[in-house]
Structures are given as structure tokens and as C-alpha cells.
């Protein structure tokens, strides 16, 4: 039986895909060598709530992000490699190539993760982004 440790957390999420950092509640689960973050996002009233699950697999230098909301996708980030994913949108499926520069995994003084990557959609210009999720102290307010 693997060691499974789940805790409720307050996260701050930063991404070039949206302006201001987002604070949201979620869970962090440690399953052996894997760390799983679970959270929801809603950036405005018109947007449906989006649920995210990010699984970090340090020994494989890999992160898997599953997104369910207005856009649904399963994206695999592998440090130093290119992977392909499909984002299902209201406009139809968009295939993207994900070129991951690096993944900073939780550990040491960092209670969170950071992924630097480029998304290259089949329909447009490549988009560079740095995504990070960081656990906040529990006494902070949303």
C-alpha cells in the first residue's frame, strides 16, 4: 500500500494565459513519489467553472494536466521533449504541440511547481508560458 497523504490547501496560480494571479482552494495529495494538485478556476461570471488535476511525476520529469470546463484537455509536459495534445473547445478540437523547457518539482523550500513551455497550435502562432502553482499559508484569505 502506497503512502497517500491528502490535505486541503489554498493555492496561488500564476500563468501568462491570464493577467492577475488567481487564489483558489484545492487539495494536494502525495502518493509515493507523485504529487497531485486538484483545484477549480473561474475567472469571470461568463465562464463556467473549470476543474484541474495536475499530477507531477518527478522520476520521469513529467507533469500531466487534465482540464474539464469550457475547454477540456489532457496535456502531458515532459522536460526536454515535445508532446502532442488535443484541446476540445466550443470551436472544435485544436491540436497542440507542447515543447517543455523545464519543470520545477515540489521539494526543499518550494511547496508548489513551475512549468515553462511553448504551446504550438495547429492553427496559429506558438505561445510561450510559465505556469506555477504555489501553496499558501492557511491563514491567508481568498
pLDDT 10s digits, 56-96: 999 999 999 999 998 999 999 999 999 999 999 988 999 99
Domain boundaries, the chain: 4-41+49-136
Determine the topology of domain 4-41+49-136 in CATH: Lipocalin (2.40.128)
Contacting residues for 126 by C-beta, under 8 A, at least 6 apart: 118, 119, 120
Query: Is 80 within 8 Å of 61 (Cβ atoms)?
Result: yes
pLDDT 10s digits, 90-135: 889 999 999 999 999 988 677 899 999 999 987 778 999 999 999 9
Does this model's pTM top 0.95? My answer is no
Amino acid at each position: 500500500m502506497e503512502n497517500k497523504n491528502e490535505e486541503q490547501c489554498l493555492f496561488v496560480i500564476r500563468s501568462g494565459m491570464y493577467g492577475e494571479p488567481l487564489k483558489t482552494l484545492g487539495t494536494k495529495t502525495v502518493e509515493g513519489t507523485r504529487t497531485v494538485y486538484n483545484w477549480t478556476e473561474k475567472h469571470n461570471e461568463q465562464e463556467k467553472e473549470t476543474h484541474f488535476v495536475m499530477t507531477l511525476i518527478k522520476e520521469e520529469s513529467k507533469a500531466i494536466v487534465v482540464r474539464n470546463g469550457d475547454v477540456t484537455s489532457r496535456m502531458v509536459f515532459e522536460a526536454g521533449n515535445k508532446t502532442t495534445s488535443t484541446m476540445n473547445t466550443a470551436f472544435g478540437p485544436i491540436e497542440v504541440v507542447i515543447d517543455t523547457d523545464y519543470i520545477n518539482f515540489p521539494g526543499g523550500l518550494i511547496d508548489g511547481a513551475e512549468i515553462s513551455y511553448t504551446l504550438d497550435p495547429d492553427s496559429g502562432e506558438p505561445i510561450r508560458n510559465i505556469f506555477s502553482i504555489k501553496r499558501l499559508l492557511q491563514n491567508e484569505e481568498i
